[in-house]
């Protein structure tokens, strides 16, 4: 085949498109002499909070720390249980385990791959302190029933929004529905830095204040340590780059939506199970995840045709060495999803004709 290969995601293209502005932003930080915190971080925090329709944003080192710090700030730790989706990137589970709390997995709704709210109450015990929904693949979880359950049982809600920058739930941005919302700016996310970065958004000013201390050795005044904090601060170079990219996030998400619409149209009768979008959800298509029982063979054939796909994720958290003590759990919905899901190339720099080539290749393979 003469066609050039189709990459899963081109993160270099995102920087190339904005290269002069990014260069200027980095030069500004170099020249400022301020290499921890400062104006660049504060400006990005203000802009990110506004974008997320939240009152507060606190920049931190990465998405895992954002989750851990949210738990710490809400004083969730040893002896506490936290409800998490059985299918998620392992960071959601690790954050809970690393503050000393116990993960209690709840199965997803197989059609959206997001936490099934109808299964949550059965998992609540006298030790449950929080529910941690994940807006997986860029699609908002059904927050209203989750928030209602949390209110009824006096639980906190911490959202893992690491894949959902710009997504909307019933018209409002993801950003402050729960007590705290954790973000990652890992380069491949919809809003990605040129290294690690993360943030927590919230409407609770007191919680934000605790988070600002916890990310900085438990301190707001130099050498005064009110609590046992971490060192997890958003780097000013990353903040400056993120500010440049934030101005383009809506447009880049719209490009992702256009690719997703093409896939959903072009693959409607292909035999693939396609992502379902509930009427109240405006996803941002961090990933376009389809399902097929012969996933592995299909991916191999697509690779032969020069089309890169990935699996999000190949192994459920309870079957990872990191959670060996939970290996005997039976979580059949998650396990089946992990056997069948695979992700098609998508991103703001994937060209429509490349998406058409993916559609065509899948059509040829599945009708054979």
Using CB under 6 A as the criterion, which residues of the chain lie in contact with ligand PLP when the complex forms? 62-64, 88-89, 91-92, 134, 160, 162-163, 184, 186, 196, 198
Name which of 166, 97, 106 is nearest 135 in CA terms.
166
In whole angstroms, the minimum distance from the beta carbon of 195 to ligand PLP comes to 10
CA distances from 55 to 59, 177, 181, 208 (A): 14, 11, 12, 9
Q: Which is nearer to ligand PLP, 158 or 260 (CB)?
A: 158
Name the residue with the smallest CB distance to ligand PLP: 63
Q: Which is nearer to ligand PLP, 64 or 246 (CB)?
A: 64
Q: Which is nearer to ligand PLP, 138 or 348 (CB)?
A: 138
Half-sphere exposure of 101 (CA within 13 A, CB side): 29
Q: Which is nearer to ligand PLP, 143 or 362 (CB)?
A: 143
In whole angstroms, the minimum distance from the beta carbon of 125 to ligand PLP comes to 25
In whole angstroms, the minimum distance from the beta carbon of 188 to ligand PLP comes to 8
Q: Which is nearer to ligand PLP, 167 or 298 (CB)?
A: 167
In whole angstroms, the minimum distance from the beta carbon of 163 to ligand PLP comes to 5
In whole angstroms, the minimum distance from the beta carbon of 344 to ligand PLP comes to 17
How far from each other are the two terminal CA atoms of the chain, in whole angstroms? 18
Half-sphere exposure of 257 (CA within 13 A, CB side): 15
Q: Which two tokens stand for residue 32?
A: 């400022």
Q: Which is nearer to ligand PLP, 51 or 93 (CB)?
A: 93
In whole angstroms, the minimum distance from the beta carbon of 250 to ligand PLP comes to 20
Strands 56-60 and 341-344: unpaired
User: Cβ–Cβ contacts within 10 Å for residue 133, how many?
Assistant: 29
What are the residues facing 59 on neighbouring strands? 199
Rounded Cα–Cα distance for residues 160 and 341 (Å): 20
């Amino acid at each position: 085949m003469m066609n050039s290969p189709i990459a899963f995601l081109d993160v270099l293209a995102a920087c190339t498109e904005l290269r002069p502005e990014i260069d200027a932003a980095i030069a500004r930080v170099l020249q400022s002499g301020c290499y921890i915190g400062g104006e660049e971080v504060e400006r990005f925090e203000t802009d990110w909070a506004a974008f997320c329709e939240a009152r507060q944003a606190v920049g931190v080192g990465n998405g895992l720390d954002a989750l851990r710090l949210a738990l710490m700030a809400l004083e969730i730790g040893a002896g506490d249980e936290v409800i998490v989706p059985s299918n998620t990137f392992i960071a959601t589970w690790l954050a809970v385990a690393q503050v000393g709390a116990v993960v209690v997995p709840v199965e997803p709704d197989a059609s959206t791959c997001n936490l099934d709210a109808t299964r949550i109450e059965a998992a609540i015990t006298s030790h449950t302190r929080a529910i941690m929904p994940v807006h997986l693949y860029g699609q908002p979880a059904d927050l209203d029933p989750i928030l209602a359950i949390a209110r009824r049982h006096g639980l906190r809600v911490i959202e893992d929004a690491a894949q959902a920058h710009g997504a909307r739930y019933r018209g409002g941005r993801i950003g402050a529905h729960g007590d705290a919302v954790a973000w990652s700016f890992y380069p491949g996310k919809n809003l990605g830095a040129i290294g690690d970065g993360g943030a927590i958004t919230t409407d609770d000013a007191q919680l934000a204040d605790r988070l600002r201390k916890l990310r900085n050795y438990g301190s707001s005044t130099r050498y005064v340590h009110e609590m046992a904090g971490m060192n997890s601060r958003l780097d000013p170079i990353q903040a400056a780059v993120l500010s440049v990219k934030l101005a383009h996030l809506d447009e880049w998400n719209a490009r992702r939506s256009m690719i997703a619409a093409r896939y959903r149209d072009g693959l409607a009768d292909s035999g693939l199970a396609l992502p379902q979008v509930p009427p109240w959800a405006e996803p941002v298509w961090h990933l376009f995840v389809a399902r097929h029982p012969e996933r592995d063979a299909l991916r191999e054939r697509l690779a032969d045709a020069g089309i890169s796909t990935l699996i999000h994720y190949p192994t459920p958290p309870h079957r990872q060495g990191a959670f060996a003590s939970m290996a005997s759990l039976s979580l059949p919905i998650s396990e089946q999803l992990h056997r069948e899901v695979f992700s098609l190339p998508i991103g703001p720099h994937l060209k429509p004709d490349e998406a058409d080539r993916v559609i065509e290749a899948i059509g040829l393979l599945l009708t054979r």
